[in-house]
Amino acid sequence: MDEQNTAASPGRRVRAGRMVGVVATLVATALAVGLTQGWGRTDQAPPASPAAASSAAAVPRAPVVLNSTDDAFIQLLIPMNEGVLALIDQLDTRPADADPSLRALLGEVRQAHQAELRDLRGLLAAGNVPELNIHEGHQMPGMVTDANLAELRAASDAEAPARAAALIRAHLAQTMVLCRGEQTAGGSPELKALAGRIQQARAAELSTLDSRPGATTAAPVG
């Protein structure tokens, strides 16, 4: 059994290395197309509900075909969502009266992100693709890291909501970039449709986050 694992590990490393390259291509594609389409505009009306937008249509469980961009998109978005859920869980340990508007939004974000994780993992299973956490320990744009969580734990109750909001904002904005790249370069119609719904959900969440009383759009500290 050990010999089999040893023999298999180089292949996994090669695949992981290729996937990291595809992630970089995915982001570059999203940014390039976005520059020609005027992405980043804030004058577009967001959908009614973030949670409803991301899970409005169930992902089919019939077999699907995932290309390298599809695979890279899913394998990156899963840990990104998990990081945000860990952040929300940590913020829940703070006093309940701290930034109630942020708390209300994060309740919706939690529900939407959990639904997205089920759909993303369902597509991996339908494509017969194993889940690989190739970005563990990486400082990826929009990903809440262990270091971010440690800084949030060390922050005072007065500082924590603003720090959390900045991290959430970076996550929402970067996910929109990735969703656009998936819709441009992805191969699976099912995943491209899901990416479109996630993008709409992120736009609504970002609009709500930035329209909170006293909200700022500063980048996260650290």
pLDDT on residue 214: 72
For residue range 173-200, list pLDDT tens digits in order: 999 999 999 999 999 999 999 999 999 9
Residue 157 scores a pLDDT above 50? yes
pLDDT on residue 98: 78
Q: How far apart (Å, rounded) are the C-alpha atoms in residues 144 and 83? A: 5
Q: pLDDT band at 23, cuts 50/70/90? A: low
pTM for this model (two decimals): 0.74
Residue 35 scores a pLDDT above 50? no
Length, in residues, of the chain: 222
pLDDT on residue 10: 52
Listed residue (80, 66, 110, 43) closest to 177, CA to CA: 80
Q: What amino acid is encoded at 40 in this protein?
A: G
54-58, 125-129, 163-167: which range is least confident on average?
A: 54-58
Strands of the chain, DSSP E: none
Which has more pLDDT, 162 or 26?
162
Assigned CATH topology for domain 2-39+49-210: Ferritin (1.20.1260)
Winning range, highest mean pLDDT, from 18-22, 23-27, 119-123: 119-123
For residue range 74-114, list pLDDT tens digits in order: 999 999 999 999 999 999 999 878 788 999 999 999 999 99
